[in-house]
Amino acid sequence: MTFEKTKKLANGSVIPRLGLGVWRVQDGQEVIDSVKWALETGYRLIDTAAVYKNEEGVGEGIRLSGIPREEIFVTTKLWNEDQGYESTMKAFDESLNKLGLDYVDLYLIHWPVKDKYKESWRAMEEIYESGRAKAIGLSNFHKHHVEDILADAKVRPVVDQIELHPTLSQVPLREYLKKENIAVEAWSPLGQGKSLENPVLVEMGKKYGKSAAQVIIRWHLQNDIIVIPKSVHEERIRENFDVFDFELSQEDLKVIDDLDMNERLGADPDNFNF
């Protein structure tokens, strides 16, 4: 069985389908080790954000790995309080400085801050045109936010990173994004660990000789969703990448689809206050 480990985005960038998320991973040794173990295992996508306050360690982990920069896909995100044209430009420079890189592979607007995200997008477009972000996109944008961006975008977003796990499968938004050729990336893909205790997924894992985490990651991948599980433990980081030697049946994909409860763990993008 072959599985394409990368996906071509609408602008031609090539993104690994499985990466490491580093939210709530401490800057310094913890994030350096996590990035190092991930890269040793074969991960080539690291997902950070200015607000995670660990961009320095992410950059350090990348340099220490010895893997050529161009083989690694680095995503970071514009934080809410930095939205607006000038402040986006400034925040992007700060992120690059902290990472110690001269470009990122993907820069995302972290949340759709009302009355600000369009102005921020203008800055993102310039950053993209300057070559310092090889791709630009959105995060936590509902359909109506995406439509608003597309209404006068010069550069189209190529990714929307959204909360997505077995109990929040986001089917209508996924269908809309697919139609617009915007790739879907899942955040909290394991339901922040909660989904791992779901007996349906644990039992399904036994059938395949895999863990619940591996089953869930595989469900995302087989649904054409880019997935960025987080762990700071070497063993789990390796486990979460060991998903390319089995395939869920159509029936089992459907069983997982049926776990959807429209249950959000994070804020609703229409109603957040941070």
CB of 140 to ligand NAD, least distance (A): 5
CB of 167 to ligand NAD, least distance (A): 11
CB of 190 to ligand NAD, least distance (A): 3
> What distance separates the 2 farthest-apart alpha carbons in the chain?
54
Instruction: Report yes or no: 195 and 215 within 8 Å, Cβ to Cβ.
Output: no
CB of 108 to ligand NAD, least distance (A): 7
Measured CA to CA in angstroms, residue 216 lies from 24, 131, 137, 213, 252 at distances of 21, 35, 24, 5, 11
- Distance between CA 210 and CA 202 in Å, rounded? 9
Angle between helices 117-129 and 85-99 (to 10 degrees): 50
Q: Which helix (H) or strand (E) holds 7?
A: strand 6-8
* CB nearer ligand NAD, residue 120 or residue 231: 231
- Distance between CA 216 and CA 212 in Å, rounded? 6
- Distance between CA 60 and CA 108 in Å, rounded? 21
What number of other Cβ atoms are within 10 A of residue 132's Cβ? Answer: 16
Measured CA to CA in angstroms, residue 46 lies from 1, 19, 193 at distances of 26, 6, 19
Closest residue to ligand NAD: CB criterion:
21
- Using CB under 6 A as the criterion, which residues of the chain lie in contact with ligand NAD when the complex forms? 21-23, 47, 110, 139-140, 161, 187-193, 196, 211, 213, 228-231, 236, 239-240, 266
What number of other Cβ atoms are within 10 A of residue 86's Cβ? Answer: 10
Of the candidates 69, 163, 87, the one whose C-alpha atom is nearest the C-alpha of residue 124 is 87
* CB nearer ligand NAD, residue 131 or residue 235: 235
103 is catalytic: no
Instruction: Report yes or no: 139 and 128 within 8 Å, Cβ to Cβ.
Output: no
CB of 45 to ligand NAD, least distance (A): 10
Mind telling me the catalytic residues? Answer: 52
